């Protein structure tokens, strides 16, 4: 059992040892190489991922062929193409490991089966959805209300790991700016 996953779950919900053992039994480990894909555009998201080492990126490719990064999951974070996971429709997003990455994953079927078996898992899912909603709303607000410098400063304040660990190309795609603009911002600060 991975202690990071167990610690994360037990920090969110209170479960018995038997319930925790059951929850953990549905998660499977997986090691990914740098740049390996877990999901491609057009596939249905059938798994949710918990990162124990490395980084996952969720992104899509816009009409002009540019990559637009929506979310990063570093250690101790969950990630999935949530719209596809919930609706069962084809995903418009990709999920990719940006570093050699170790994860635990749970299938859609098993995730929802736990909702029937363990009442506290519903609370876990609600918290998961709340975090996703708040994260996405804050990102949308920053796109609508902040200029490039403000977005970059906010990223440095709230998630400096992104800038430290990832390439300028990936950071620029997250901020929805060009690499040249990112270089200018970095030189200003």
Tokens of 158: 């709230």
Q: Is the pLDDT of residue 5 over 60?
A: yes
Contacts of 8 (CB under 8 A, 6+ apart): 50, 76
pLDDT at 189: 76
- Is domain 1-106 given the CATH code 1.10.10.10 in the classification? no
Long-range contacts, 22-26 (Cβ 8 Å, 24+)? 22/114, 22/117, 22/118, 23/114, 23/118, 23/121, 26/106, 26/107, 26/110, 26/111, 26/113, 26/114
pLDDT at 188: 80
Per-residue pLDDT tens over the stretch 63-119 = 888 899 999 999 999 999 999 999 999 999 999 999 999 999 999 999 999 999 999
Single out the residue of 26, 14, 2 nearest to residue 114, CA to CA: 26
Q: Is the pLDDT of residue 1 over 50?
A: no
Per-residue pLDDT tens over the stretch 118-157 = 999 999 999 999 999 999 999 889 888 999 989 999 899 9
Enumerate the domain spans of the chain.
Answer: 1-106
Query: Vertex 83, ends 81 and 89: CA angle to 5°?
Result: 100
Whether 75 and 98 have beta carbons less than 8 Å apart is answered as no
Dist CA 87 CA 44 (whole Å): 9
How much is the CA Rg of the chain, to the nearest whole Å? 17
């Amino acid at each position: 059992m991975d202690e990071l996953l167990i610690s994360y779950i037990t920090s969110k919900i209170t479960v018995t040892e038997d319930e925790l053992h059951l929850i953990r039994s549905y998660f499977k480990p997986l090691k990914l190489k740098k740049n390996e894909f877990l999901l491609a555009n057009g596939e249905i998201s059938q798994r949710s991922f918990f990162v124990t080492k490395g980084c996952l990126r969720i992104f899509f490719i816009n009409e002009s062929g540019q990559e637009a990064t929506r979310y990063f999951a570093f250690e101790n974070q969950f990630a999935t193409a949530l719209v596809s996971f919930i609706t069962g429709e084809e995903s418009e997003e990709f999920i990719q490991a940006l570093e050699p990455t170790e994860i635990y994953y749970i299938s859609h079927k098993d995730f929802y089966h736990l909702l029937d078996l363990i009442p506290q898992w519903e609370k876990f899912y609600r918290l998961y959805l709340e975090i996703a909603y708040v994260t996405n709303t804050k990102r949308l607000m920053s796109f609508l209300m902040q200029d490039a410098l403000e977005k970059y400063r906010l990223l440095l304040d709230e998630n400096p790991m992104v800038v430290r660990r990832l390439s300028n190309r990936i950071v620029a795609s997250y901020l929805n700016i060009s690499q040249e603009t990112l270089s200018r911002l970095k030189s200003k600060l």
